[in-house]
Amino acid sequence: MKGLIVVGLVLLVMFMLMMPLSVYAIGDPEGGVSIGDCNVFTSVLEPDDQLYFVRYDVSYSPEPPEDASDTWQMAIYDTDGVTLIPGATRPLNFYQHNIISMYFTAAQVATLSLTPLSEFKVKIMGNPAVFDPITEDVNMQTVTLAASDWKELSDLVTYLLAQAQILEDDWPLITLLGDTGLLNSTGAYYFLLAIPGLSNFAPEAFEITTTTYTFTPGVFTHDYESDLADKKGERLTEGLENFGGWLGISGNWMSFLLVGVLFAVFAGATFSATKQPIIGLMMGFLVIMCSAWVGLVSLTMIFIIVISVAFFFGITFILGRFA
């Protein structure tokens, strides 16, 4: 037994060694890495929370096949530039000229000692698991926050719309701002991806569009119903009128009575053969449809029948369950 366990462990290790490992062939960005703007907004969603925003450029030509989220990140270091603030990393969404952010609740700010106006180091850098070594101005760019980089919520909307304009001016064929100067649907996509929850931080930054749909009601006629009624023919119509007169009812009510009898006969015969009430009802309704097609009963009458059956079925069901 022990021998089998050992053999199993050996095979498992061999299998794991044979599995292909993720190998990244990405190199340093040819155009370098830079940070255009970096600011921190406080009390955006609750008192004393913090939102770190960065507009960066990780310039590759052409872009690597690896996802930016696997190879590059935003990171916040303490004032010494060496100590990474716990949990203060976030993968980039895109290469090239784009934006990213990190949000900390008031509780996280207190726990991590993110003192406002501190000279934290904000970095756009290659993932250390992919790049070796990490070198400033090669595969990393660092900005030291100054007191002027800390802003209030009241500045956020104007600031973000200005950032959108900068990106729009640099991005060919992509429009981020609508005619109102606010974020359009494309701008909303990129900014919500970079700043999750932005619609809660600054809903007034988004363009509101209203679409009005016009409805033209159709003109309904009874032409088809009349065509079906004409299929009954003169002989059948006369026969129903005469038979109905003998019973003291009109020809239309005689047609209705005849269809009812046919419904009961075919539905009953089907139920007797199958013992399935649903199949019996389906056969009965098929008889009604065929009767309408040959003009024995009008479409209006069929509608009344269906509504009546549904009504009485509902009453029966309710009484059977709750009475």
Q: What torsion, rounded to 10 degrees, do the Cα atoms 9, 15, 16, 19 define?
A: 180
Say if pTM beats, i.e. exceeds, 0.95.
Answer: no
State the residue for tokens 């190998």. 23
- As beta bridge partners, residue 52 has 40, 102
Q: Which two tokens stand for residue 263?
A: 């419904």
Instruction: Determine the pLDDT at residue 289.
Output: 72
Tell which wins on pLDDT, 155 or 3. Answer: 155
Residue owning tokens 């904000």: 122
Name the residue with higher pLDDT: 261 or 130: 130
Which residues does residue 176 pair with via DSSP β-bridges, in sequence order? none
The average confidence (pLDDT) of the chain is 82
pLDDT tens sequence across 100-146 = 999 999 999 999 999 999 999 999 999 999 999 999 999 999 999 99
Q: Which of 59, 75, 36 is nearest to 159 (CA)?
A: 36
The residue-averaged pLDDT of 170-177 equals 94
Dihedral sign for Cα 156, 162, 167, 173, please: positive
pLDDT tens-digit profile of 1-25? 555 454 455 455 454 444 444 456 7
Sign of the Cα pseudo-torsion (202, 205, 209, 210, in order): positive
What pLDDT does 101 receive? 98
Tell me the chain's radius of gyration from C-alpha atoms.
Answer: 38
- Which carries the bigger pLDDT value, residue 51 or residue 254? 51
| Structure-token match 């990171």, residue found | 75
Of 250, 229, 248, which is closest to residue 295 (Cα–Cα)? 229
Tokens representing 66 are 């690896």
Residue 28 backbone zone (phi > 0: left; psi -120 to 50: alpha; other: beta): beta
pLDDT over 60 at 259, yes or no: yes
d(CA 74, CA 85): 12
Dihedral sign computed on CA atoms, order 186, 191, 197, 203:
negative
Distance CA 318, CA 209 (A): 47
* pLDDT, tens digit (0-9, with 9 covering 90-100), for 211-240: 566 667 766 665 665 665 565 556 666 666
- Asked if 202 contacts 157 with a C-beta cutoff of 8 angstroms, the reply is yes
By the 10 Å C-beta count (0-12 exposed, 13-18 middle, 19+ buried), 56 is classed as: buried
**pLDDT top residue among 208 and 212:** 208
- Enumerate the H helices of 195-250 as residue ranges: 198-201, 223-230, 233-247
Domain ranges of the chain: 33-205, 227-322
Alpha carbon 99 to its chain centroid, in Å, reads: 23
